[in-house]
Amino acid sequence: MSHPATISIINGHLIDPANQIDEAKDLHIAHGKILAIGHTPEGFNAEQTIDASGQIVCPGLIDLSARLREPGDEHKATIASETAAAAKGGITTLCCPPDTNPIIDTPAVAEMIQHKARQSGFCRVLPIGALTKGLQGEHLSEMAALQKAGCVALSNALTPISNTLVERRILEYAATFGITAFLRPEDPYLNNQGCAHEGPVAARLGLPGIPEAAETVAIARDLALAEQTGCHVHFCNLSGGTAVSKIRQSNLPVTADVAAYQLFLTEDNLVGFNSNCHVIPPLRSHNDKEALRQGVADSTISAICSSHQPHEPDAKKAPFPSTAPGISGLETLLPLTLKLVDEGLLNLSDAISRITCGPASILKLPLGQLSVGSSADLCLFDPQKHWQLTTDEMLSHGHNTPFLGYEFRGKVTHTLLEGRLTYSNTPSQINPEAQSI
Amino acid sequence: MISPNEPNIQLDPQGRLKHFLTIEGLSRGLLTEILDTAESFAGVSERTVKKVPLLRGKIITNLFFETSTRTRTTFELAAKRLSADVLSLNISASSASKGETLLDTLRNLEAMHCDMFVVRHADSGAAHFIAQHAAPHISVINAGDGRHAHPTQAMLDMFTIRRHKGDFSQLKMAIVGDIQHSRVARSQILALNTLGAKEVRIISPATLMPDHAETLGVKVFHKLEEGIQDVDVVIMLRLQRERMSGALLPSEHEYFQLYGLTDERLEAAKSDAIVMHPGPINRGVEMNSQVADGPRSVILQQVSYGIAVRMAVMAMAMQTQGQGSAQ
């Protein structure tokens, strides 16, 4: 099936934080790239015209952390199912962490994931490779080979690197090749098999706690080693206020992201042992949530991610400590980010930057912008549309979200990846086409 | 943004006890009703025929995912005295080790037409989980879940205190030991505060204290002598041996030196203070034998009262079924 090579998106309101565009303008696409913004170029003939009246047209969203569960956990989700969910959420690029099975510590696995993602055609999938072999924290992975195979960054996923000397070597070696290290700051000992924030709620419910210091200690260590080695360190999935201030005060070229849900939920949501709120790092106090929001507002945290972790229903059907942590978040990344605008934390352009050019600049990729000549990755959404999140509504195979039943404002109407519609609220228009394989 | 206020799943629409999972959210009236009902059952054990026919034809299943002797036995006895049929399963040694999920184990037992589950599990929240997922006609009694709650233990302690002291409103209490890992302490604190105790103190080194302990509604002490000053009741908690290996304490020896109860130390408490312990006691660690076997100790009474209290809770919970509140 062929798709239109030329598209005009007319009557929409363009917001592109990277180029400081925030006005009503038309946008014209030819052969997968943005051809012109504003006036129609002479001789341009659009094969398809999308009327974006009343809608925001912004760069396609970039998600720094989304687990697709393939390979290894296809009973939870697949590359096809989750990239379709991403497209529905306005996401055109996502990074998948290396803790698949097999682990992304060889070029073959990295290539296989990209290949399958291209076959599905819904979303650009950029693998994050493993920093250490088997994520064991002992031997360096073949970093340069992984980089060459398309890994945009390397990480040790959820497994902390306990040996500080190994961490130093990892960061030095990564720095040699200009590789960004994604670190999730957690002290391997202080977490002590906890499953909830060590605070009043865990004390009352008798849930084993993870102190905020588990994150702070790791941040302090990682910052010292980032300075020592000169490696670009990116902190993933922050949870505590102290971590934000440590990063802010460090004056190092480190970057950070936060999961969207961390900006809305706190330890109080665990009352009643709600396993959909079981996440690692845990939901912390109200003050932590406010500090994270402040970090997003002042760009200490320059990216908001979904931290998407889909699970099969059984994974959440057990006593709280025995449930699998994680929230299915692809389809709530945009609405939660827009909620920050409604709540007065950010203006719309800044909010969009945290899910477009913010993450793009962490990845050092020319994405997340509406520049002439750049890839036509677009998200169109109706900022006034009220809707309710239901399991019927979700495309992700993981329905594990505490936001079910919640009413949001702002809904994606069209998603385009390289000039192809990967999602449309008018289903007949969807035409995700496999690229040449 | 998401309301943490859930309806109390322990109560049926009429406000009666359907499940007994935690003391949290239960009224003073309801706790008093449990104690009064237990009082009416206390005589049954002294009769020649130690049975009442209240739960005849009902099947009660003891689901113990963690080993226990005392609690399981007293639940078994309580159920038998109510004339129920009792099934005791030690799950840690069966299905769970074969990889069966908790929910599947539950469904299988439901298929055997059980009416009540008495559950002990190593995970906090396990009893809530089972109550949420069991068929609507089944009542769930928590016999201890992780560090969260052990409400029947707390109620038998309240029963013991009420028998000895009467009114709670004038009483000062001290709970000594490993509060952090103790489901018993959490439930006792809630019960004492609900029943209106004048003051609840907890005493332990910081390593055994829960984080944000003061938010539990207690006064925090680190010195035993200060903490038990003028109290009416001293509750000693069991110290698990594995706390030494977890770098929480240097040795049993030092623990006893600092927190072990002796007759001399007990002088600081009121002259008629009673000493309690949920058992089993580590003699020479939590207390010496003189205290354990001494005139102030009510430890063995706690065990026998446990049967009456468990009978009361089972009878009350089963009552919500008998009158057709279950769908």
- H helix count then E strand count, chain A: 11, 20
Q: Which superfamily is assigned to A59-363 in CATH?
A: Metal-dependent hydrolases (3.20.20.140)
A204, A207, A314 member nearest B101 (Cβ): A314
Distance CA A181, CA A153 (A): 6
A234 in helix, strand or coil?
strand
Residue given tokens 């073949």 in the structure block: A142
* Per-residue pLDDT reduced to its tens digit, B119-177: 999 999 999 999 999 999 999 999 999 999 999 999 999 999 999 999 999 999 999 99
Max alpha carbon distance in chain A (Å)? 70
Q: Are A105 and A164 in contact (CB under 8 A)?
A: no
Q: Please classify residue B29 by burial: count the beta carbons closer than 10 Å to its beta carbon, then call 0-12 exposed, 13-18 middle and 19+ buried.
A: exposed
pLDDT in tens, A233-249: 999 999 999 999 999 99
Domain limits of chain A?
A: 6-58+377-389+406-429, 59-363
**Confidence band, pLDDT 50/70/90 cuts, at residue A3:** confident
Task: List CB contacts of B176: < 8 A, sequence separation 6 or more.
Answer: B202, B203, B204, B224, B227, B228, B234, B235, B236, B237, B259, B261, B286
| Spans of all domains in chain B | 28-150+304-322, 152-303
Q: What is the mean pLDDT of chain A?
A: 95
Smallest Cα distance from B181 to chain A, Å: 8
Closest by Cβ to A264, choosing from B1, B6, B210: B1
Extract the tokens encoding B2: 């998401």
pLDDT score of A323 = 95
- Tell me: the pLDDT tens digits for A344-357? 999 999 999 999 99
DSSP A437: -
Residue at B192: amino acid letter: L
What phi and psi, each to the nearest 5 degrees, are found at residue A329?
Answer: -125, 0
Alpha-carbon distance of A146 to A155, in angstroms, equals: 11
Please give the Cα distance from B266 to B261 (Å, whole number): 7
Q: What is the pLDDT, as a whole number, of residue A432?
A: 52
| Cβ–Cβ < 8 Å for A32, A72 | no
Residues B148, A205: C-beta atoms closer than 8 Å = yes
Segment A279-294 mean pLDDT = 98
3-state class percentages of chain B: helix first, strand second, coil last, to nearest 5: 40, 15, 40
Enter the DSSP assignment of A66: B
Q: Answer for the pair A161, A167: CB distance below 8 angstroms, yes or no.
A: yes
CA B101 to chain centre: 26
pLDDT value for B3: 47
**C-beta atoms of A273 and B183 within 8 A:** no
Neighboring chain B residues of A269 at a CB cutoff of 8 Å? 2, 4
HSE at residue B214, side-chain half, CA atoms within 13 A, is 4
User: Is A317 in contact with B101 (Cβ distance < 8 A)?
Assistant: yes
pLDDT value of position B4: 45
Angle, alpha carbons A300-A305-A310 (nearest 5°): 150
Pick B28-150+304-322's CATH classification: 3.40.50.720, 3.40.50.1950, 3.40.50.300, 3.40.50.1370: 3.40.50.1370
pLDDT at residue A427, rounded to an integer: 62
**Cβ of B129 and A206 within 8 Å?**
no
Q: How far apart are CA A174 and CA A177, in angstroms?
A: 6
SS3 B160: helix
Of A209, A264, A321, the CB nearest to B146: A321
Whether pLDDT at A160 is above 90: yes
Rounded percentage of chain A residues whose pLDDT exceeds 70? 97
Q: What percent of chain B has pLDDT over 90?
A: 74
| pLDDT number for residue B245 | 72
Phi, psi of B34 (to 5 degrees): -60, -45
- Please give the DSSP secondary-structure letter assigned to residue A132: B
CB < 8 Å to B123, chain A: 318-322
What residues of B are in contact with residue A208 (Cβ under 8 Å)? 124, 146-147
Query: Nearest by CB to B183, which of A206, A273, A402?
Result: A206
Contact B147 A207 (CB under 8 A): yes
Comparing A211-215, B13-17, B106-110, B322-326, the range with the smallest average pLDDT is B322-326
Report the alpha-carbon distance of residue B259 to residue B176 in Å, rounded. 8
pLDDT digits (tens, 9 = 90+) for A44-87: 999 999 999 999 999 999 999 999 999 999 999 999 999 999 99
Going by C-alpha positions, the residue among A221, A219, A258, A223 that lies closest to residue A238 is: A258
Nearest partner of A144 among A115, A114, A110, A176, judged by Cα = A176
Compute the average pLDDT of residues A124-135: 98
Q: How many CB atoms lie within 10 A of CB B295?
A: 8
Is the pLDDT at B241 greater than 80? The verdict is no
For tokens 């409400």, the residue is B151
- For the segment A18-25, the average pLDDT, to the nearest whole number, is 97
Which secondary structure element, helix H or strand E, spans residue A255, and what is its range? strand A255-259
CATH superfamily of A6-58+377-389+406-429: Urease, subunit C, domain 1 (2.30.40.10)
Looking at the domain that runs over B152-303, which CATH code has it been given? 3.40.50.1370
Residue B36, number of CB atoms within 10 A of its CB: 12
Segments of chain B assigned E as strands: 59-64, 85-90, 116-121, 139-145, 172-176, 199-203, 219-221, 233-236, 274-276
Q: Specify the pLDDT at position B112.
A: 84
Under an 8 A CB cutoff, do B128 and A403 touch? no
CA distance linking residue B191 with residue B158, whole number of Å:
8
